[in-house]
A and B are shown apart, each in its own frame.
Chain A
Amino acid sequence: MTTPAAAPEPTRFPVVLGLDTFGDRTSDRNGRALSHAQTIRNVVEEGVLADRSGVDFFGIGEHHTSDIPMSAADVVLAAIAARTTRIRVGSAVTVLSSDDPVRVFQRYSTLNALSGGRAEVVLGRGSSVDSFPLFGYNLADYEALFEEKTALFAELLKGTPVTWEGKTRAALHDQDVVPYTEFGPFPTWIGVGGSPQSVIRAARHGFSLMLAVIGGSPARFAPFSQLFRQALERFGRPPLPVGVHAPGHLADTDEKAESEFWPHYLEVLRRYSRIRGFAVPTKESFAFEIGPEGALYVGSPETVAQKIAANLIALDASRFDLKYGMGGLGHESLMSAISLYGEQVIPRVRELLRSERPTP
Chain B
Amino acid sequence: MVGAGHVGPVIARVAVAAGYEVTIAAAGDPKEIELITQVLAPGSEPRWTADAVKDADLVILAIPLHRFEAFDPVLLADRLVVDAMNYWPAVDGKRELFEDAQHGSSEIVAGRLAQSRVVKALNHIGYHELEGERRPSGSSDRRGLGVAGDDGQAVAEVAEVIERIGYDAVRLDSLRAGRILQPGGPVFGRTLSRAEFERAVHTEAAASGVR
Residues in A lying within 8 Å of B, measured CB to CB? 129, 132, 138-140, 142-143, 193-197, 200, 215-217, 220, 223-224, 226-227, 230-231, 234, 275-279, 285, 293
Contacts and interface: CB of A to CB of B under 8 A. Distances in A.
B35 A276 contact: no
A217 B39 CA distance: 18
Contacts of A194: 6, 127-128
Contacts of A278: 183, 188-189
B4 A197 contact: yes
Contact of A227 (B36, B127, B129): B36
B188 A220 contact: no
A325 to B, nearest CB: 22
A139 B39 contact: no
A226 B5 contact: no
Contact of B5 (A129, A196, A216, A227): A196
B155 to A, nearest CB: 24
Nearest to B127: A194
Given A140-B66, A220-B128, A279-B190, A200 B6 contact: no
B4 A227 contact: no
Contacts of A277: 88, 90, 182-185, 188-189
Nearest to B132: A217
Nearest to B34: A234
A226 B131 CA distance: 18
Dominant SS at the B interface? loop
Contacts of A139: 91-93
B93 A200 contact: no
A132 B131 CA distance: 32
A268 to B, nearest CB: 15
27 contacts: A129-B91, A132-B93, A138-B93, A140-B95, A196-B4, A196-B6, A196-B9, A196-B40, A200-B36, A215-B126, A216-B126, A216-B128, A217-B128, A220-B132, A223-B40, A224-B40, A227-B35, A227-B36, A227-B40, A230-B35, A230-B38, A275-B90, A276-B88, A277-B182, A277-B188, A278-B183, A278-B188
B129 A216 contact: yes
Interface in B117-167: 126-129, 131-132
Given A129-B91, A227-B40, A277-B88, 9 more contacts: A132-B93, A194-B127, A195-B5, A227-B39, A231-B35, A276-B90, A276-B91, A277-B183, A277-B185
Nearest to A228: B39
A200 B184 CA distance: 32
Q: Assign chain B's interface to a size class.
A: 20 to 34
A278 B183 CA distance: 6
Closest 3 CB pairs of A and B: A277-B183, A139-B93, A277-B184
A28 to B, nearest CB: 31
A220 B5 contact: no
Interface in B76-101: 88, 90-93, 95
Interface string B28-67: 0000000110111000000000000000000000001010
Given A216-B128, A220-B128, A197 B189 contact: no
A24 to B, nearest CB: 19
A279 B124 CA distance: 10
A276 B90 CA distance: 6
Nearest to B8: A196
Nearest to B191: A285
A213 B28 CA distance: 28
A198 to B, nearest CB: 9
A234 B92 CA distance: 32
A224 B10 CA distance: 12
B36 A196 contact: yes
A118 to B, nearest CB: 33
Interface in B1-41: 4-6, 9, 35-36, 38-40
A132 B93 CA distance: 9
A289 to B, nearest CB: 12
B207 to A, nearest CB: 17
Contacts of A132: 93
B188 to A, nearest CB: 6
B36 A129 contact: no
A220 B88 CA distance: 24
Nearest to B40: A223
A276 B188 CA distance: 10
